[in-house]
């Protein structure tokens, strides 16, 4: 009796599984180069860009009411990964794609296309009560690798330096790693000190800076408010200390300015191409300036 | 027996078999078929739970085994976690989880046990009726709400008390302690309740005060149940994600061993998975390592729960013996 | 100090420590209510978010949580009730039963983020459901199984044996007895467990992270295969990711989530007490 009992159960379970699998429709979540009518454009990635992307999406609603855009953050790495996996139409990134990522995209059958959509001046911020006004990139590198641990080593008060950073999936984090911690040197292998607090977003950094006099952090200029103090940065001991502004970001005198990108799978077409063109146009760039970022130079 | 005889015997028995079959079929009604089907479904539900647990482990293994196979163990358990450069040392994450849990439990055990004693042995009925719902309310507060409060109110407070930053192991532990309390309290309560009244009566009869009774008679008798409560509280704490993600600072650092140990930031295994999973390309090594961390979490909680289960069996056997 | 005095002191200490548990709980709830009540309005509960979610309402998040709770209900209940009936009525004292119980205990202990990983691996990727309400509901459903199974089994076992005995002696089959005598009397207890389980599921964030949650969706979800916003994830997002988010909206969202979860807990408690009063045995 035992044998037939189990046989019966296996047969029944197989039938159940079969019926279930027949009901499941494989959903084509893959994005296409052209957004399908009625489906939202999926836009995901850089946290630095997310509020800009949201502002663009909201403004575009009045320009093209029948095109809707869904915006998600998560970091440049997240957006690029999603582009490679085929689940978004546009990936926002505050850094360029790495070679492995480009290879991954090509392995999935497409070439990623990089489009510059804005310029960002990366501000180094501290608490308003912090007496320090300016730092060189060398000093920043030493601070973030814990070769310097106390504020009094850079002209401040006797207080421990609390390091704030974005998560490793952030393009801003990677940019800071390459240009500040490694001082732009490709051969440099330094990484952030393990005591660095990895905050969930740009807002996380500014919130902590606001209430912690010991903290130092970095954020896109668009995220900085009057509640944080911006430091003037010098490329090295001989260069002038420059504060990040729209002008110094645009003319390159501020050493830490970078492009912000949107990536698509292959050349953009249809409503996606229209949206990106609008972003690069005068209306889109006006929103860039409004949010505290640096508009693209006239090309 | 000749062939004819054998043939006759076979056909005779054939007839009785078909006879019986025909009789059975005529008695069979839709209701019986239906009932048979339902009972099979119920049996299936029962074993499907085992299937589900196995499936969870198998899926974790499927996606995460590459971490254990492709990365040498010495590197995997190294002291630095920096995935974007291919440095996958998970030891700081494990230390983070262990420290946050350990401090949380050291807060929650005294608070929880004593509250359970209060509710079970000391409080008058009207207080008990008030306290139990409040504990249930505490159990129901979503972890993200407590994490949010920790981020917006508790962390600044801890900073004002002198820590370099308010995002520390201790902040996380405090919140975790309160989240584990309902588990510890209710299971401890059950353990204390299970101690037979005769034990207390005998102690009081020979002149012990209430506290002496509790301390020397009830607590030792409830010992195994209390251990179970603690273990399940540990399991609850080590598995928490959102609350610790918001308040521990997420620094993948093995803290320096000094007096301010618990006021340094840390990064737990759970928060690492939550913070980094969104960014990884499927199938990449980083993806596998995150699943590998999931496997470790699964194994830890599986071990805790299985031991606790075993202890429940021992406790029940012991109670049966005590009752005689 | 005499024994009696020591007794009094110790009891006082114990009472104080118990208060240390109870008072912060009440304070936390009160704090959120006080800080958040200002943001609550009809618009807050029914309108779409505007201006980068800094204004307007949180309706999509509320709707998303309601949908996910409903989905969890459907995903969890049949299996949970079936297992509870199995354990209470059919299972013998054998190795298989012990394994089933061990599996339930372990399901209860698995961290919520590990459920999220499983949901990602099994539902989003393997079954190709994508990040969808369906994937999220299935993940939450499995997570809720242990709670519902335990309370349902207790409720079924609480039905007195004589109900079954009388039914069987009148000629009913085992399933007929369960269906018509045991289950109806166990129903309030089962309902309590279901509602409690759903209240836990509604407050969870980690299982949603990779299976369904979205930062901002311009439209409401239209099918089971769509993504959705959800209250717990929304609270996480607005408290950590959006600059210049008014504090009142953050507390308001926390309050709405708290009220949603606690009202479910309250309903469960009411069902339980009314059941105890109306018990026919």
Dist CA B261 CA B98 (whole Å): 13
Mind telling me how many Å the CA of C139 is from chain B's nearest CA? 11
pLDDT at B26: 66
CA-nearest of C128, C116, C114 to C225 is: C128
pLDDT at A205 over 60: yes
Q: What average pLDDT does the structure give for chain C?
A: 89
Per residue in A67-100, pLDDT (tens digit) is 888 888 777 888 888 888 888 899 999 888 888 8
- Dihedral, A167, B270, C205, A86 alpha carbons, nearest 10: 60
pLDDT at C111: 94
| Torsion sign over Cα C239, C244, C248, C253 | negative
Residue C117 lies in a domain: yes
pLDDT at A14 over 60: no
- From the candidates B65, B137, B308, which should be mutated to test the interface with C, based on the most C CB atoms within 10 A? B137
Mind telling me how many Å the CA of A230 is from chain C's nearest CA? 17
CATH number of the structural domain spanning residue C215: 1.10.3720.10
Q: Is A160 an interface residue toward B (CB < 8 Å)?
A: yes
* Helix, strand, or coil (residue C4): helix
Closest CA in chain B for residue C141: B52
Q: What percent of chain B clears pLDDT 70, i.e. is strictly above it?
A: 90
Dist CA C131 CA C133 (whole Å): 7
Per residue in A215-236, pLDDT (tens digit) is 999 998 888 888 999 999 998 8
Q: In chain C, positions 40-59, which contact chain A (CB-CB < 8 Å)?
A: 50-53
Dist CA B206 CA A99 (whole Å): 81
Dist CA B266 CA B32 (whole Å): 61
Name the residue with tokens 């860039």.
A288
pLDDT at B241 over 50: yes
DSSP-derived secondary structure for B145-181: HHHHHIIIIIHHHHHHTT-S-S-SHHHHHHHHHHHHH
Q: Is C280 an interface residue toward A (CB < 8 Å)?
A: no
| CB-based burial, B145-168: b 16+ in 10 Å, e otherwise | bbbbbbbbebbbebbeeebbbbbb
pLDDT at B147: 95
Q: Pairing between strand A229-230 and A41-45?
A: unpaired
CA-nearest of C143, C173, C157 to C79 is: C143
In the structure encoding, which two tokens stand for residue B147, read together?
A: 């994490």
Q: Is C273 an interface residue toward B (CB < 8 Å)?
A: no
Q: Cβ contacts of residue B130 below 8 Å, gap of 6+?
A: none
In the structure encoding, which two tokens stand for residue B288, read together?
A: 């596998």
Cβ-based burial of A153 (10 A; exposed 0-12, middle 13-18, buried ≥19): middle
Q: Is C218 an interface residue toward B (CB < 8 Å)?
A: no
Q: Is C127 an interface residue toward A (CB < 8 Å)?
A: yes
Residue C224 lies in a domain: yes
In the structure encoding, which two tokens stand for residue B115, read together?
A: 């509250």
Q: Is C126 an interface residue toward B (CB < 8 Å)?
A: yes
- Chain B: list its partners (3+ Cβ pairs within 8 Å): A, C
Asked if B45 and C83 come within 8 Å (Cβ–Cβ), the reply is yes
> Is residue B242 within 8 Å of residue C205, measured between CB atoms?
yes
Asked if C216 and A204 come within 8 Å (Cβ–Cβ), the reply is no
Name which of A13-17, A208-212, B298-302, C171-175 the model is least confident about: A13-17
Within a 10 A sphere around the Cβ of B238, how many other Cβ atoms? 26
pLDDT at A26 over 50: no
DSSP-derived secondary structure for chain A: -HHHHHHHHHHHHHHHHHHHHHHPPPP-----SSPPTTSPEEEEE-HHHHHHHHHHHHHHHHHSTT--EEEEEE-HHHHHHHHHHT--SEEEESSPPPHHHHHHHHHTT--EEEEEEEEEEEEEEE-TT----EEEHHHHHHHHTTS--BGGGGTS-S-BPEEEEE-TT-HHHHHHIIIIISTT-TT------TT-EEESSHHHHHHHHHH-TTEEEEEEGGG--TTSEEPEEESSTTSPPB---HHHHHHS-STTEEEEEEEEESS--HHHHHHHHHHHSHHHHHHHHHTT-BPPPP-
Local confidence band at B321 (pLDDT 50, 70, 90 cut-offs)? low
Closest CA in chain A for residue B246: A200
CA-nearest of C252, C256, C249, C242 to C203 is: C256
Closest CA in chain B for residue A196: B251
Q: Is B40 an interface residue toward A (CB < 8 Å)?
A: yes
- From the candidates C13, C83, C117, which should be mutated to test the interface with B, based on the most B CB atoms within 10 A? C117
pLDDT at C46 over 50: yes
* Phi, psi (rounded to 5 degrees) for B317: -65, -40
pLDDT at A29 over 70: no
Per residue in A111-159, pLDDT (tens digit) is 999 999 999 899 999 999 999 999 999 999 999 999 999 999 999 999 9
Cβ-based burial of C48 (10 A; exposed 0-12, middle 13-18, buried ≥19): middle
Q: What average pLDDT does the structure give for chain A?
A: 83
Local confidence band at A260 (pLDDT 50, 70, 90 cut-offs)? very high
Name the residue with tokens 């009604």.
B29
Per residue in B106-122, pLDDT (tens digit) is 999 999 999 999 998 88
Dist CA B231 CA B108 (whole Å): 12
Q: Is B166 an interface residue toward A (CB < 8 Å)?
A: yes
- From the candidates B44, B46, B55, B279, which should be mutated to test the interface with A, based on the most A CB atoms within 10 A? B279
pLDDT at C53 over 70: yes
Q: Is B256 an interface residue toward A (CB < 8 Å)?
A: no
Closest CA in chain A for residue C217: A70
pTM of the predicted structure, to 2 decimals: 0.85
Q: Is C9 an interface residue toward A (CB < 8 Å)?
A: no
> Is residue C218 within 8 Å of residue C203, measured between CB atoms?
no
pLDDT at B9 over 80: no
pLDDT at C118: 94
Local confidence band at A39 (pLDDT 50, 70, 90 cut-offs)? low
Within a 10 A sphere around the Cβ of C276, how many other Cβ atoms? 10
Name which of A6-10, B26-30, C253-257 the model is least confident about: A6-10
> Is residue A51 within 8 Å of residue A286, measured between CB atoms?
no
**Which residues of A fall within a CB distance of 8 Å from C240?**
200-201, 203-204
Per residue in B218-230, pLDDT (tens digit) is 888 888 888 889 9
Q: What percent of chain C clears pLDDT 90, i.e. is strictly above it?
A: 47
Q: Is A208 an interface residue toward B (CB < 8 Å)?
A: yes
Asked if B145 and C235 come within 8 Å (Cβ–Cβ), the reply is yes
**Which residues of C fall within a CB distance of 8 Å from A57?**
218
pLDDT at A252 over 60: yes
Closest CA in chain C for residue A75: C241
pLDDT at C216 over 80: no
Which residue in the set A29, A40, A202 is minimally distant from C130, CB to CB?
A29
Mind telling me how many Å the CA of C47 is from chain B's nearest CA? 22
> How many contacts, defined by CB atoms under 8 Å, are there between A and C?
65
pLDDT at B2: 60
Asked if A68 and C130 come within 8 Å (Cβ–Cβ), the reply is no
**Which residues of A fall within a CB distance of 8 Å from B85?**
191
Q: Is A46 an interface residue toward B (CB < 8 Å)?
A: no
Closest CA in chain B for residue C207: B274
Taking residues B9-36, what's their average pLDDT? 71
DSSP-derived secondary structure for C36-55: HGGG--HHHHHSPEETTTTE
**Which residues of C fall within a CB distance of 8 Å from B46?**
82-83, 86-87, 90-91, 96, 100
Asked if C121 and B60 come within 8 Å (Cβ–Cβ), the reply is yes
Q: Which residue has the higher pLDDT, A16 or C260?
A: C260
DSSP-derived secondary structure for C246-272: -HHHHHHHHHHHHHHHHHHHHHHHHHH
Dist CA B319 CA B41 (whole Å): 36
Q: Is A203 an interface residue toward B (CB < 8 Å)?
A: no
Mind telling me how many Å the CA of C250 is from chain A's nearest CA? 14
Residue C17 lies in a domain: no
Q: How many domains does chain C have?
A: 1
pLDDT at B4: 62
Asked if B145 and C269 come within 8 Å (Cβ–Cβ), the reply is no
Q: In chain B, positions 243-262, which contact chain C (CB-CB < 8 Å)?
A: 246
Dist CA B290 CA A116 (whole Å): 32
Taking residues A24-46, what's their average pLDDT? 55
Residue C23 lies in a domain: no
Residue C215 lies in a domain: yes
- Crossing angle of helices C183-202/C133-158, nearest 10°? 140
Which residue in the set C52, C214, C225 is minimally distant from A55, CB to CB?
C52
Residue C80 lies in a domain: yes
Within a 10 A sphere around the Cβ of B190, how many other Cβ atoms? 15
In the structure encoding, which two tokens stand for residue C18, read together?
A: 């118990």
| Torsion sign over Cα A45, A49, A55, A60 | negative
pLDDT at A33 over 60: no
pLDDT at B153: 93
Mind telling me how many Å the CA of C269 is from chain A's nearest CA? 36
**Which residues of B fall within a CB distance of 8 Å from C262?**
137, 140-141
Taking residues B194-217, what's their average pLDDT? 87
Residue C219: in which H helix or E strand, if any? Answer: none
> Is residue C18 within 8 Å of residue B118, measured between CB atoms?
yes
Local confidence band at C77 (pLDDT 50, 70, 90 cut-offs)? very high
Taking residues C173-192, what's their average pLDDT? 87
Asked if A214 and B165 come within 8 Å (Cβ–Cβ), the reply is yes
Name the residue with tokens 């995002």.
B167
> Is residue A224 within 8 Å of residue A123, measured between CB atoms?
yes
* Helix, strand, or coil (residue C281): coil
Which residue in the set A29, A203, A223 is minimally distant from C240, CB to CB?
A203
> Is residue B49 within 8 Å of residue C145, measured between CB atoms?
yes
Taking residues C186-199, what's their average pLDDT? 90
Which residue in the set C18, C113, C233 is minimally distant from B115, CB to CB?
C18
Q: Is A211 an interface residue toward B (CB < 8 Å)?
A: yes
pLDDT at A36 over 50: no
Q: What is the DSSP secondary structure assignment for residue B222, as one 8-state letter?
A: T
Per residue in B126-179, pLDDT (tens digit) is 988 889 889 989 999 999 999 999 999 999 999 999 889 999 999 999 999 999
Cβ-based burial of A210 (10 A; exposed 0-12, middle 13-18, buried ≥19): middle
Q: Cβ contacts of residue C193 below 8 Å, gap of 6+?
A: C147, C148, C150, C151, C152, C154, C155, C268
Taking residues B261-279, what's their average pLDDT? 90
Taking residues A171-182, what's their average pLDDT? 91
CA-nearest of C178, C175, C174 to C159 is: C178
Name the residue with tokens 């959705």.
C228
Q: Is A101 an interface residue toward B (CB < 8 Å)?
A: yes
DSSP-derived secondary structure for B7-66: HHHHHHHHHHHHHHHHHHHHH--HHHHHHHHHHHHHHHHHHHHHHHHHHHHHHHHHHHHH
Dist CA A288 CA C71 (whole Å): 41
Residue C109 lies in a domain: yes
Within a 10 A sphere around the Cβ of B20, how many other Cβ atoms? 10
Residue C142 lies in a domain: yes
Taking residues B90-115, what's their average pLDDT? 95
In the structure encoding, which two tokens stand for residue A17, read together?
A: 């599984």
Residue C187: domain span: 58-278
In the structure encoding, which two tokens stand for residue A172, read together?
A: 């801003």
Asked if A27 and C129 come within 8 Å (Cβ–Cβ), the reply is yes
Q: Cβ contacts of residue B89 below 8 Å, gap of 6+?
A: B75, B76, B77, B78, B79, B80, B81
> Is residue A203 within 8 Å of residue C243, measured between CB atoms?
yes
pLDDT at A13 over 60: no
Per residue in C107-137, pLDDT (tens digit) is 999 999 999 999 988 998 889 888 899 999 9
């Amino acid at each position: 009796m035992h044998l037939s009992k189990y046989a019966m159960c296996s047969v029944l379970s197989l039938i159940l599984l079969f019926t279930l699998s027949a009901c499941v429709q494989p959903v084509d979540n893959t994005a296409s180069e052209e957004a399908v009518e009625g489906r939202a454009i999926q836009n995901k990635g850089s946290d630095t860009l997310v509020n800009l992307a949201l502002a663009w999406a909201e403004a575009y609603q009045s320009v093209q009411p029948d095109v809707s855009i869904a915006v998600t953050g998560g970091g440049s790495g997240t957006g690029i990964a999603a582009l490679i996996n085929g689940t978004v139409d546009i990936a926002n990134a505050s850094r360029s794609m790495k070679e492995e990522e480009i290879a991954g995209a090509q392995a999935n059958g497409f070439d990623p296309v990089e489009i510059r959509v804005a310029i960002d001046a990366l501000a180094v911020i501290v608490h308003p009560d912090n007496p320090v006004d300016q730092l060189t990139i060398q000093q920043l590198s030493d601070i973030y690798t814990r070769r310097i641990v106390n504020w009094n080593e850079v002209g401040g008060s006797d207080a421990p330096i609390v390091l704030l950073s974005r998560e490793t999936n952030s393009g801003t984090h990677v940019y800071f790693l390459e240009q500040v911690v490694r001082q732009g040197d490709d051969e440099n292998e330094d990484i952030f000190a393990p005591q660095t607090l990895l905050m969930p977003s740009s807002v996380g950094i500014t919130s902590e800076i606001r209430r912690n006099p010991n903290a130092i952090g970095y954020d896109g200029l668009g995220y900085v408010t009057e509640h944080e103090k911006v430091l003037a940065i010098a490329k090295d001991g001989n260069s002038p200390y420059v504060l990040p502004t729209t002008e110094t970001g645009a003319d390159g005198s501020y050493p830490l300015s970078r492009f912000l990108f949107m990536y698509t799978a292959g050349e953009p077409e249809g409503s996606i191409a229209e949206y990106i063109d609008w972003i690069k146009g005068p209306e889109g760039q006006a929103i860039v300036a409004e949010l505290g970022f640096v508009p693209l130079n006239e090309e | 027996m000749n062939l004819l005889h054998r043939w006759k015997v076979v056909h005779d028995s054939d007839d009785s078999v078909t006879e019986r079959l025909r009789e059975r079929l005529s008695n069979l009604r839709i209701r019986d078929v239906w009932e048979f089907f339902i009972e099979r479904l119920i049996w299936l539900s029962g074993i499907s739970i085992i299937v589900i647990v196995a499936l969870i482990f198998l899926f974790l293994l499927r996606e995460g085994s590459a971490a254990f196979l492709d990365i040498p163990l010495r590197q995997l358990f190294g002291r630095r976690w920096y995935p974007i450069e291919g440095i996958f040392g998970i030891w700081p994450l494990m230390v983070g989880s262990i420290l946050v849990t350990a401090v949380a439990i050291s807060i929650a055990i005294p608070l929880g046990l004593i509250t359970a004693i209060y509710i079970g042995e000391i409080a008058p009925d009207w207080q008990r009726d008030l306290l139990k719902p409040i504990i249930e309310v505490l159990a129901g507060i979503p972890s993200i709400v407590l994490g949010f409060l920790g981020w917006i109110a508790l962390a600044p407070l801890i900073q004002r008390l002198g820590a370099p930053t308010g995002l520390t192991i201790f902040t996380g532990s405090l919140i975790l302690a309160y989240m584990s309390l309902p588990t510890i309290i209710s299971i401890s309560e059950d353990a204390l309740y299970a101690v037979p009244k005769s034990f207390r009566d005998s102690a009081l009869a020979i002149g012990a005060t209430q506290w002496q009774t509790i301390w020397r008679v009830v607590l030792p008798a409830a010992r195994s149940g209390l251990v179970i409560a603690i273990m399940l509280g540990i399991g609850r704490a080590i598995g928490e994600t959102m609350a610790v993600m918001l308040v521990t600072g997420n620094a993948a650092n093995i803290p320096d061993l000094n007096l301010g140990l618990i006021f340094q930031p840390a990064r737990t295994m759970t928060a690492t998975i939550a913070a980094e999973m969104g960014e990884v390309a499927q199938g990449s090594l980083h993806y596998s390592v995150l699943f590998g961390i999931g496997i470790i979490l699964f194994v830890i909680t599986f071990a805790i729960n299985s031991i606790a289960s075993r202890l429940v069996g021992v406790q029940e056997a012991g109670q049966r013996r005590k009752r005689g | 100090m005499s024994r009696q005095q020591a007794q009094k002191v110790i009891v006082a200490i114990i009472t104080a420590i118990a208060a240390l548990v109870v008072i912060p709980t009440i304070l936390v709830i009160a704090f959120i209510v006080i800080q958040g009540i200002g943001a609550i309005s009809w618009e807050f509960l029914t309108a779409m978010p505007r201006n980068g979610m800094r204004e307007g309402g949180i309706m999509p998040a509320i709707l998303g949580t309601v949908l996910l709770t409903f989905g969890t209900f459907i995903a969890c209940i049949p299996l949970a009730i079936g297992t509870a009936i199995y354990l209470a009525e059919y299972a013998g004292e054998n190795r298989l039963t012990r394994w089933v119980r061990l599996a339930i205990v372990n399901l209860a202990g698995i961290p919520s983020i590990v459920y999220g990983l499983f949901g990602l691996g099994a539902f989003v990727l393997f079954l190709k459901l994508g990040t969808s309400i369906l994937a999220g509901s299935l993940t939450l459903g499995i997570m809720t199984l242990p709670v519902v199974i335990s309370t349902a089994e207790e409720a079924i076992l609480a039905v007195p044996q004589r109900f079954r005995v009388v039914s069987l002696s009148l000629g009913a089959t085992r399933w007929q007895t369960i269906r018509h005598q045991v289950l109806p009397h166990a129903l309030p207890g089962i309902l309590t467990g279901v509602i409690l389980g759903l209240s836990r599921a509604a407050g969870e964030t980690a299982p949603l992270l990779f299976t369904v949650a979205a930062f901002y969706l311009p439209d409401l979800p239209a099918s089971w295969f769509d993504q959705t916003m959800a209250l717990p994830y929304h609270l996480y997002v607005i408290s950590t990711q959006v600059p210049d988010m008014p504090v009142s909206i953050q507390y308001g969202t926390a309050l709405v989530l708290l009220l949603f979860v606690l009202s479910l807990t309250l309903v469960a408690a009411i069902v339980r007490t009314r059941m105890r009063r109306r018990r026919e045995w």
